Amino acid sequence: MKSKLSLQFKKRDFIIIAAALLLAAAVFLFFLPKGETGRLYAEISKNGEVIASLPLDTDAEYVVNGDYENVVTISDGSAFFSSSNCPNEDCVHTGKLTKAGQLAVCLPNGVTLRIVGGEGDVDAIAG
């Protein structure tokens, strides 16, 4: 017995392919980075309360005291935990933050470092 294999597309096949392409394009456009033309700030919070907001275009250093001591450094358009005496120093290993929505945290000291400002101030997850 011979079997015939038909590879002809039907109308519904084209509709399914078009819908999949539209969905892929929508997902791509949703996650496409937005241009940031506004000024960016490093927002430093301690236990949920904002204690400092420093512009990224001005080099600075800010010390946060508590159970531990964190040093936040603003340099060359980035913000980062440059030193900490907390256990494991995970916050120091987070790296440099440069774009709105990026976040670094020192959990043992309750300190949050977040980049805010620009036009793309919201991230894709929390909105």
- In the chain, what are the domain boundaries? 40-117
What is 40-117's CATH topology? Answer: mini-chromosome maintenance (MCM) complex, domain 2 (2.60.320)
The residue written with tokens 């791509």 in the block is 28
- For the chain, how far is it from start to end, CA to CA, in angstroms? 60
Report the chain's C-alpha Rg in angstroms. 23
- Among residues 31, 97, 109, which one has the least CA distance to residue 69? 109
pTM given for the model: 0.64
Q: Residue 19: helix, strand or coil by DSSP?
A: helix
| pLDDT tens column, 54-110 | 999 999 999 999 999 999 999 999 999 999 999 889 999 999 999 999 999 999 999
| pLDDT tens column, 30-44 | 776 555 457 899 999
CA count, 13 A, side-chain hemisphere, 19: 6
